[in-house]
Structure 1
């Protein structure tokens, strides 16, 4: 019986690398993206490109209107996306986003009979997000084991975080070795409708530095 995994794919660099890693480990991958009211749809288009290019068994987009609660520069247009260095938990943090996303992924994993969920959280270049830490994933795993039929029956779904202790350069090196086409991805918090990056936000800064440190050509398309 083939191994199955639900892989959260945002359209960005990290999740594309995670999908490649899951495939390399022999998983049949069911990719999951969220239309949650984020600033631009370019990342959803990128997620679909990545899923298709990497041969996902099925790609699903779930609609959630997180703009109804706001609280983030990604879901509230009145909050500006910061450009340059930030400290502490930035305004691009979307309240409880990974908890919401993982919960839906957990439900789909039970439905398709997946043994694992892959998510590209990172605790090194993680921009201060509390739901990207190892402690959070450990706690979520404990909850998932208690909250699901699969967990109660001893078939719990493993939460896989292969990037959690890697630098951005390390992530790019791993993806490059697995032939990830990073030109398909969009990482920018405020990309234009054509998916071109601003080159100024925190996500762009981390991405640009990662390619430089990895010694890998940066295929990112920048506006202007």
Structure 2
């Protein structure tokens, strides 16, 4: 695939940055597309931009603020309250986000002759989000190909990895320190290890601790 082009759906967080390094390892030309959907802080977009510039990856921001106009959620409100109603989805779920992001990423990719789309969704650590499931991705892939008469391939390098395994992949790609220090996962807009309290930080930091513990144990044998 080294002679082919790819687009990474990119937020500047741990998962998408790991996917960006994975794409750079596997494709000849890589571009990153970030979406402004009215998220609570612009730091996410600026973090993504800085990473793309540092890695010399062409970077595009698309205006998707219509999502915020249609549906309020914890990621677009002024004060975040993360909760899950009984039998429902977490308040951090943004309806239609991955459906729209990947659809627009495909249109963007087609404009410069790319057929590979990379996204950091995971069914292992997906918090119950329906648009992070493998079945959804496969279904959307077929729909995009039919709708645009193309042969896109959606890649999900993290689909079956928990957070510790995502850290492992970043280490294998030589990007562990980069991902630790320069990404933004925190719901409160704090880079690196974040606030340490929100669910995103807890998942990220516990995964890192688990990976590093396992790595140390393996090295000691």
1:83 positional shift: 7.6
Q: Is the 8 A contact 2:6 2:27 kept in 1?
A: no
- The equivalent position to 1:189 in structure 2, one of 187, 190, 203, is 187
Residue 179 (structure 1) aligned with residue 179 (structure 2): no
Determine if the alignment matches structure 1 residue 205 to structure 2 residue 202.
yes
Question: What is the CA-CA distance between 1:81 and the residue it aligns to?
Answer: 2.7
Q: Which runs of 5+ in 1 are unaligned?
A: 217-224
* Matches of 1:196 and 1:211, distance apart in 2: 10
**TM alignment of 1:115-134, pairs within 5 A:** 115-134=115-134
Instruction: Check 1:9–1:21 CA distance in 2 against 1; reply closer, same or farther (3 A cut).
Output: same
- 1-structure distance, mates of 2:53, 2:21: 12
Counting only pairs closer than 5 Å after superposition, residues 74-113 of structure 1 correspond to structure 2 as: 74-77=75-78, 80-82=80-82, 89-113=89-113
CA distance, structure 1, for counterparts of residue 7 and residue 109 of structure 2: 6
Is residue 163–residue 171 contact of structure 1 (8 Å, CA) maintained in 2? yes
Provide the TM-score with structure 2 as the length reference: 0.87
Report how far residue 145 of structure 1 moved.
1.1
What is the aligned partner in structure 2 of residue 3 from structure 1?
A: 4
1:83–1:201 CA contact under 8 A, matched in 2: no
Task: Please identify runs of 4+ aligned residues in structure 1 that moved more than 3 A.
Answer: none
SS of residue matched to 2:78: coil
Shift of residue 67, structure 1, vs aligned partner = 2.1
List per-residue Cα deviations over 1:89-126 (Å, max 9, x = no partner): 21000011001101110101111100200000001111
Q: What is the Cα-based RMSD across aligned positions, in Å?
A: 2.2
Structure 2 unaligned segments of length 5 or more: list them.
214-221
Aligned pairs for 1:36-75 within 5 A: 36-56=37-57, 58-65=58-65, 66-75=67-76
Question: Matched residues in 2 for 1:213 and 1:196: separation?
Answer: 15
Cα distance in 2 for partners of 1:128, 1:138 equals 17
- Choose between structure 1 and 2: higher helix proportion: 2
After superposition, what is the alpha-carbon deviation per residue over 1:30-75, rounded to whole angstroms, capped at 9, x for unaligned? 100011100111111111122122221x100111212212331112
Distance (whole Å) between structure 2 residues aligned to residue 148 and residue 14 of structure 1: 28
**CA shift in 2, pair 1:87/1:126, >3 Å:** farther
